[in-house]
Amino acid sequence: MDTVRRSIDTEVSKTGDDCYRAVARLVDPFHEIEVVLLIRATGFVIVEASAKMIRIPYADKCPNSLQRVSKLSGLRIGPGLHRTIREVVGGDCGCPYIVDLVEQACKLVIVVSSVQQAREAVLVEHDLEKFAVIHEKMGQCAGHHNLPTGRLPDWLEHERRRNHSTDDVPGHEHE
C-alpha cells in the first residue's frame, strides 16, 4: 500500500427548529466514523450528539468511546471548546477521531451562522456597520486580518454586485 487516503467531510444544514444539523465523517482504509450534532442556533448549545463507527481497527475497544459522545449535549460552543471536547470524548477511553470530527462540525456551524448573518446584514438590511461587527467575530485568518473598514469578503461582494445588477430586472426581486 503506497498511498493511503483519508477524507473528512463535514456538512451543515439548518433545521426548522432554530437548530443546525452538523454531520462530520472520516473515511480511510481503517476507519469509517460519523458524528452527528444538533446545535441550537441561539446560543450555540449542542442539543443532541451521536456517533457511529462503521469500520474500525479494534471492534472490541473502539466502540467503547461511543458511549461518551452523548455527554456533549448541553455543551456551549465557545472559548475552551477544544479542551472540553478532548476531556469529554478523548483520552485513553475515547477516540481522537471523534474529537476531530466534533470540532470540525462545531467550527463549520460557526462559519455557516456567520455567513448567514453577514449576508443578511449586507444584502437584506444594507447595514455595513452591522457587517463590521459580524466580521470582527468571524475569525482570525489572513483573509479577515486587517481588512479595511467597509471592505467585504470577495464572495459577499460578488453576491452584492449580482443582486444589485438584477434590481431592476423583472423576475429578480429580492427577499
Alpha-carbon distance 9 to 51, whole Å? 14
Q: Look up residue 105 and give its amino acid.
A: A
Domain that holds residue 61: 1-175
What's the distance, Cα to Cα, between the start and end of the chain in Å? 53
DSSP 146: T
pTM (2 d.p.)? 0.83
* Closest among 163, 1, 84, 22 to 9, alpha carbons compared: 22
Query: What is the tens place of the pLDDT at every residue in 74-130?
Result: 999 988 999 999 999 998 888 999 999 999 999 999 989 988 888 888 888 888 888
- Residues in Cβ contact with 144 at an 8 Å cutoff, skipping those fewer than 6 apart: 135, 138, 153
Backbone angles phi, psi at 49, to 5 degrees: -145, 135
Alpha-carbon distance 45 to 22, whole Å? 13
Of residues 157 and 104, more confidently modeled = 104
- pLDDT the model gives residue 147: 65
For residue 25, give the C-alpha cell: 465523517
Domain count, the chain: 1
Res 166 pLDDT > 60: no
